[in-house]
Structure 1
Amino acid sequence: MAVSMSHSFAQTVAEFNIKDIHSIASVNGPDHFFKKLHSLNTDDSSDFFQWSDTDDNIDDDYLEGPFIQPVRDSDRPAITVVDKSGVHSLSICYCQCPGALSRDIQLFQAGLFLASFTRPKTAFTFTVLDDFLLDNLECSTSAMNYYSKIRRLTSSIFPLMVPDCYRELMRAARQWRQCKLYKWHGFAHKDDQPKDGDLALFCPACPQPGINLDLSTGTVAQPDDTPSWLMTRYLVMDGNFKAEHMHPVNPSDKVSLMDGLGFMVSDERYKSHLAIAQDNVQRSDCNNHRAVNQANASRQRLEATGIGGCACARHGCFVPHSMVNFQKGERQMNMDYALSQALNYKTDGISRAITFYNINCQYNKYLKDWITSSTYLSIPIGMDIIPGIGLGLDFAKPKLPAQAAA
């Protein structure tokens, strides 16, 4: 694939560095590029002309060598390319050889991520997407502020004249983050589909049979001599009412890319559990604890009044596929589902779980009854649950000696 530049918004061609977009060139592999798409550039007074030495365009009767027909402008549709250096308009010459890949795959292999895969008009370089995700993580930069910076880099005098690709950036950034997660967790080069929680990492120190603990025959020859703490999962439970979520303006436009694959539970099954769970209002006999008394507080404008879940009690790592949304307050039906998912996450062979919860004196009273009566809740067979009183997730994290001394 050859690429030529027709116009750059509020910039000269000299200001644009083609290396910033990963040297847009071969799209069907190095062999295809070096053997079939040798681009020839000739400087003309009007524009750059590019040719492709494919067999259909070569005239073998030309005395001084093969004559290569120039690519017409109609064959080079222009697309908007967003890069760290600014917003650019590029004319793309796609490979049209027999067996050529689709246009979206060609651009993807050239280092461009499209905002639309059917009729590509806007593309983002891999570099700018990586840079945005890093700014969003470390500097809490929103997509609107980041793209405003890109527009001002393109034209510091008239930034509003630069095409607005803010919505495209939000959509492409979500898809790019998902692609990177698939790659990081080993799903980039195999056909296996990730299961619940497979795109999230758990505590490396907690016992996880099959990952950091081998329970096969011969490895644990004397299970009676195995320390009890080694076969115990320590969990702390708590909620957070600052993580609110409002109702979407257009619910039909809400598309989940990682339903149940990360830390949050699968939406459909969780809603099915809530639909049949009994909502028994309980009053606390534990010094009028607020988490119990406000369990039925609701806010009509919010889709989720907060989140709750389970984490490693020793290291503070959240358990994948165990975070739930609150519809009212910190109700038992919500935390039941979170605990059930946490107890079933990579615990084959774990015989005991110690749970810490700031209202465990109330919560644990009816836990077994609620789990037994529900078709969506379960506890691993043979696992004992030992309740304990905890102070929440903030107090479950270990402190360094310097922090403890302070």
Structure 2
Amino acid sequence: MKSFVPKRDLYLNEMLRRDGRGHATNDKCLDCLDPAHAGVAAIRCSVCAPGPLCCEACAVRKHAGCPYHRIQRWTGQTFEDVTLKDLGLVIQLGHHHDRSICTNPQPSRSDFSVIDVNGRHLVAVNFCGCDNAGKAGNVVEQLLRFDLWPATDCEPNTVFTFQMLEHYHVQSLQGKMSMYDYYASLERLTDNTGTTRAQDRYKAFMRVVAQWRHLKLLKRAGRGHDHTGVAGTKQGELALRCPACPHVGINLPDNWETISDDLKYLYMMTVAIDACFRLKRRDVSDTNKDPILGSGWAYFVEDTGYHEVLAGYGDQKEMSTCTGLSAVDHANTKFSQGYAATGVGAVMCARHGFWLAHGIGDIQKGEKYINMDYIFVCAMKEYLVVNKLVSYDIACQWSIGLLERIEKFPPHLQIELPAGSISYVIPKLHFGAHKREGHSPYSLNYRVGAGRTDAETPERGWWYMQAVASSTKAMGPGTRQGHLDDQFGHSNWRKTVDMPSAMAKGLRIAQEAYAEQKEIFDDLTKSLSKNYDLVKWEREVKLWEMDPFNRDDPYVVLSQGTTEAEALRELSEEEQRASAVPGFVALNDVSPVGFITMGLELEEAKFRLQEDAKTATASRVAGLFERRTALRRRVQKFRAIQGVYMPRAIMLLEADPACRTDIERIEEVRLGLPSEISSSRRDAVCTPRLQEIEARLREGQCRDALQNVRNKLHTLSHLYLYKKTHVRHQGASTRARSEISTQDVRKGRAVAKYRRARRAKLALSGRGAWEVELRVLEDEDVRGIHDDDPATAKKRKRHGEQLTPAEGRRILSWIWRSGDVEDAGESGESLRVEWLKARARTMRWREEICLLREEMRRVLGFHLYTENEWLARARSVHSEDSALQEGLVAYALKQARIRRRMRAVCRARCMAEARKSSGTEWVESAEWAAVLDAEVGELTDEAEFDAVYGVDDEVLDDLV
């Protein structure tokens, strides 16, 4: 760019030179066949390569095959725009294939328009009305055979070129360009001055694009080769399947059902469920005005039956009681007004990110069970005989009662899910937003057979689709569904094309990671084998893996202390037993345990009142006064009981100004609990029993407060994720921010309570073993389970490293391990859990290698099956129209050739990596290996392969 700066005048002058004739100053046309009678050179084309000016007759002759170029005429001082129609060009339809003369041309209207990639053109068109009309076809057929798509089949006056439709189709899929922006750009190319009034054809453009998308799906699915035609299209037939997923009768071996239990995971279907609230649709238009072309034929569920089932269900109660999700109620939010759909729910292939046939459906008011159940059932009807691993961010709640809910569906929607054929997990990123208790069975890190699947593919898919959210929001039901079906199909196709590279890279990473994790696990096993019973640990975890929901969780170290409620119960039972001893006399209606409990409750009320007083507005002053009055009465009652159980402390409290109750701000009074009295005087004024009672309750308080901190961190994690993923616009953002602020305040309260309780415990018990579990809580310790140590993060930032560490490198805050009090002499719980986690990591990477190798074989088998399907279509298709017959055969052979090339590329890319991995040897069927060398050849050189693969990538896009 620096070298460009001094040359700007040069570039600017050359741009201005183009506005004149430049060096093309010839007065006579150099293209005329008779130079002696050459016409006046005044015409140039802005699309053709720069050359000498020509006459009007030669311009018409040269543009007979490219009638949509922009033409300019030299007036002697400047160029002005003219059309080829003005120069006399006439397009004759029905005779373009042999250039014969039509004896009875039928002219179109004078304002007949053609819209091409460079804008709108007024064109003179003659339809064939002679004896050749029967062969040429009717008006619509003549236009289509000249690569022109009519805006209507009734006296069309506006047409769109196939080239323009294909160009916009690719732009909308790859660049997510909206129809309005693209059409507006065509209008600007035609005239960007506003001085020419053109008739609006935007609605016609929308209609034609919807037809184009629909017919493209039909063509690629082979519906034109089926004798039943378009009407015979089956539900979900237009969707592109994942080549790497298991498809019975297509890419599974004959013995897949009888394989040993430890390898059954190789033939398991892994799916992910999620909803996206960005893909809304406003309540505009309806299916009468904007019908759905082929409802249920691709990725969306069939519309009519779907809404009939939904009509029988009302509002849904809160979806989840899990800690991390209870603060967000997806199902009954209030942002549905004015929307026919507040988003879409989806079922995807969790390992490869493919959108499943019948795996998409609109959601009307949040993420209701009925919507997601219906979509799940429709998507799974194709995979009933294979085992399924289902991922959902609320799987711990959604899976409860799923079978019972499915039984209430109409008979044609009820599917068989035999016991043990389906398992549920939570995506890895969302797992941290759930409470730890009882959730290890839902973890993909511990699920046998899951490999390294993270199940976050829906989030990646929503990111890919977010660019079309604004343009589809205001569409009618048919246009929107057709557009989204097309986008889902494009996403699947790009993943199919990129699959060889992705799988080869994944296998390389898996091999390296497995070797690293295995070395770590072997070293850990060697170091622990002398002192611990590793055989017992492994036997126990294997039993848990077989039945995780009915056995103790081996991956969680249980707390070895009591909670406040448990401590209070134990103390109450002790008091009850003591009161039953003969001669016992109760000193007061309130027991010593009740007295200390009352003090702790007053302490909490004090701090809540202090907190509210700091931010109180004028309107809340009266309310604060009432609360202070109530608190004063409670403190005075506490003082009376304190005189019974701590009589010697009364004099100390009266001498301390901070303990006086006759002050305006009663929330600032010191209560005089045993922990608040100095250690030098405590034994003299407090009985050991009172000190013991408070110490035990304070320890329980610490555990409860720490658990509350963890719960709030879980909640905040999910709220931030929910806001980032689903919340848009000011109103919704304000509500989400308000909820986040509320939870943040509650987290602060829990932190303050822990610190108060710990200070009191330290004052009463002194330093000891309890501090191993209940440490000092610093600000940097209060962070989520997925957040790294701030000091380490700063260090990484200074060195330019990734801020978010991988799971294996993250430094976990001690609060998530607070219940881990190691007892190396007995069970070594900490080491046991670490050893089990190292074992799980090693197993998952080994499974990933096996899964990738199996998926490579499945991809080859799938492409072979698809290739044979197209070859069969080419052999079996028959049409009375010889030109149509030829086109059908040519397209089928082209598609078969594409699959053959894809199979060759996949084989060359993956086999080299597969042969390097450990485990069973790569076995390739002879028919899979039989790839024509002429297509791609045996690619062993990496540079040669990359070059061929790059070309192949482009070819695949061009051919489809």
Q: Report the 3-state secondary structure (helix = DSSP H, G, I; strand = E; otherwise coil) of the residue aligned with 2:407.
A: helix
- How far is the alpha carbon of 1:26 from its aligned partner? 5.8
- How far is the alpha carbon of 1:20 from its aligned partner? 4.2
2:100 is matched with 38
Distance 1:191 1:118, change over 3 A: farther
1:379 is matched with 415
2:198 is matched with 162
2:125 is matched with 92
- How far is the alpha carbon of 1:143 from its aligned partner? 2.0
Match 1:19 to one of 65, 75, 88: 65
Q: Aligned equivalents of 1:244 and 1:291: distance in 2? A: 23
Moved more, 232-241 or 11-20: 11-20
1:290-301 map, 5 Å: 290=326, 293-298=329-334, 299-301=336-338
Distance 1:230 1:296, change over 3 A: same
Moved more, 256-265 or 89-98: 89-98
Q: Report the 3-state secondary structure (helix = DSSP H, G, I; strand = E; otherwise coil) of the residue aligned with 2:389.
A: strand
Q: Report the 3-state secondary structure (helix = DSSP H, G, I; strand = E; otherwise coil) of the residue aligned with 1:284.
A: coil
What do the CA deviations read for 1:98-118 (whole angstroms, capped 9, x no partner)? 635221111111110010011
Distance 1:222 1:302, change over 3 A: closer
Match 2:393 to one of 345, 358, 365: 358
Q: Aligned equivalents of 1:222 and 1:374: distance in 2? A: 29
Q: Aligned equivalents of 2:271 and 2:327: distance in 1? A: 19
2:920 is matched with none
Mapped pair 1:202 → 2:235: no
Greater share of strand residues, 1 or 2? Answer: 1
2:114 is matched with 81
Distance 1:92 1:306, change over 3 A: same
Q: Aligned equivalents of 2:125 and 2:299: distance in 1? A: 40
AA at the equivalent of 2:145: Q
What do the CA deviations read for 1:80-99 (whole angstroms, capped 9, x no partner)? 11112331222322222363
Match 2:251 to one of 193, 196, 212: 212
- How far is the alpha carbon of 1:164 from its aligned partner? 2.2
Q: Aligned equivalents of 1:24 and 1:277: distance in 2? A: 59
Gaps of 5+ in 2: 1-46, 48-55, 69-89, 431-455, 462-501, 510-800, 807-960
- Asked if 1 retains the 8 angstrom alpha-carbon contact of 2:91 and 2:124, the reply is no
Question: Which of the pair has the greater relative contact order for Cα pairs under 8 Å at 6+ separation?
Answer: 1
- How far is the alpha carbon of 1:332 from its aligned partner? 0.4
2:168 is matched with 132
- How far is the alpha carbon of 1:196 from its aligned partner? 1.8
- Asked if 1 retains the 8 angstrom alpha-carbon contact of 2:315 and 2:332, the reply is no
Q: Report the 3-state secondary structure (helix = DSSP H, G, I; strand = E; otherwise coil) of the residue aligned with 2:403.
A: helix
AA at the equivalent of 1:368: L
Distance 1:121 1:151, change over 3 A: same
1:113-124 map, 5 Å: 113-124=149-160
- How far is the alpha carbon of 1:280 from its aligned partner? 4.5
Mapped pair 1:321 → 2:358: yes
Moved more, 162-171 or 92-101: 92-101
The two structures have a TM-score, normalised by structure 2, of 0.34
Mapped pair 1:369 → 2:431: no
Moved more, 94-103 or 396-405: 396-405
Distance 1:175 1:127, change over 3 A: same
1:244-259 map, 5 Å: 244-249=280-285, 252-259=288-295
What do the CA deviations read for 1:274-308 (whole angstroms, capped 9, x no partner)? 12346552453211515873312242111111111
What do the CA deviations read for 1:126-149 (whole angstroms, capped 9, x no partner)? 011111122222333222222222
1:62 is matched with none
Greater share of helix residues, 1 or 2? Answer: 2
AA at the equivalent of 2:391: F
- Asked if 1 retains the 8 angstrom alpha-carbon contact of 2:351 and 2:457, the reply is no
Q: Report the 3-state secondary structure (helix = DSSP H, G, I; strand = E; otherwise coil) of the residue aligned with 1:344.
A: helix
Distance 1:323 1:159, change over 3 A: farther
- Asked if 2 retains the 8 angstrom alpha-carbon contact of 1:279 and 1:333, the reply is no
Q: Aligned equivalents of 2:457 and 2:279: distance in 1? A: 14
Q: Aligned equivalents of 1:311 and 1:291: distance in 2? A: 26
- Asked if 2 retains the 8 angstrom alpha-carbon contact of 1:112 and 1:124, the reply is yes
Q: Aligned equivalents of 2:319 and 2:805: distance in 1? A: 39
Q: Aligned equivalents of 1:355 and 1:209: distance in 2? A: 19
- Asked if 2 retains the 8 angstrom alpha-carbon contact of 1:236 and 1:396, the reply is no
AA at the equivalent of 2:399: N
2:688 is matched with none
- Asked if 1 retains the 8 angstrom alpha-carbon contact of 2:283 and 2:340, the reply is yes
Alignment RMSD (CA, Å): 3.4
AA at the equivalent of 1:330: E
Q: Report the 3-state secondary structure (helix = DSSP H, G, I; strand = E; otherwise coil) of the residue aligned with 2:271.
A: strand
- How far is the alpha carbon of 1:348 from its aligned partner? 5.5
1:67 is matched with none
Mapped pair 1:309 → 2:346: yes
What do the CA deviations read for 1:30-71 (whole angstroms, capped 9, x no partner)? 8xx53xx613xxxxxxxxxxxx25xxx7xxxxxxxxxxxxx5
- Asked if 2 retains the 8 angstrom alpha-carbon contact of 1:20 and 1:83, the reply is no
Match 1:151 to one of 170, 187, 194: 187
Q: Report the 3-state secondary structure (helix = DSSP H, G, I; strand = E; otherwise coil) of the residue aligned with 2:203.
A: helix
- Asked if 2 retains the 8 angstrom alpha-carbon contact of 1:21 and 1:127, the reply is no
AA at the equivalent of 1:80: S
- Asked if 2 retains the 8 angstrom alpha-carbon contact of 1:322 and 1:341, the reply is yes
1:330 is matched with 367
- Asked if 2 retains the 8 angstrom alpha-carbon contact of 1:24 and 1:111, the reply is no
Q: Report the 3-state secondary structure (helix = DSSP H, G, I; strand = E; otherwise coil) of the residue aligned with 1:386.
A: strand
Q: Aligned equivalents of 1:194 and 1:24: distance in 2? A: 37
- Asked if 2 retains the 8 angstrom alpha-carbon contact of 1:243 and 1:305, the reply is yes
Match 2:227 to one of 167, 175, 191: 191
Gaps of 5+ in 1: 1-10, 40-51, 58-70
Q: Report the 3-state secondary structure (helix = DSSP H, G, I; strand = E; otherwise coil) of the residue aligned with 1:309.
A: strand
2:711 is matched with none
Q: Aligned equivalents of 1:159 and 1:83: distance in 2? A: 21
1:105 is matched with 141
- Asked if 2 retains the 8 angstrom alpha-carbon contact of 1:20 and 1:85, the reply is no
Q: Report the 3-state secondary structure (helix = DSSP H, G, I; strand = E; otherwise coil) of the residue aligned with 1:321.
A: strand
Distance 1:292 1:359, change over 3 A: farther
Q: Aligned equivalents of 1:194 and 1:265: distance in 2? A: 14
AA at the equivalent of 1:199: L
Moved more, 129-138 or 354-363: 129-138
Q: Aligned equivalents of 1:18 and 1:393: distance in 2? A: 51
AA at the equivalent of 2:255: V
Q: Report the 3-state secondary structure (helix = DSSP H, G, I; strand = E; otherwise coil) of the residue aligned with 1:153.
A: helix
Q: Aligned equivalents of 2:291 and 2:358: distance in 1? A: 18
- How far is the alpha carbon of 1:357 from its aligned partner? 1.0
- Asked if 2 retains the 8 angstrom alpha-carbon contact of 1:21 and 1:112, the reply is no
- Asked if 1 retains the 8 angstrom alpha-carbon contact of 2:92 and 2:126, the reply is no
Q: Aligned equivalents of 2:379 and 2:92: distance in 1? A: 48
- Asked if 1 retains the 8 angstrom alpha-carbon contact of 2:384 and 2:417, the reply is no
Moved more, 123-132 or 317-326: 317-326
What do the CA deviations read for 1:313-367 (whole angstroms, capped 9, x no partner)? 111212121111111111100110111012112x2642x1111111111111110
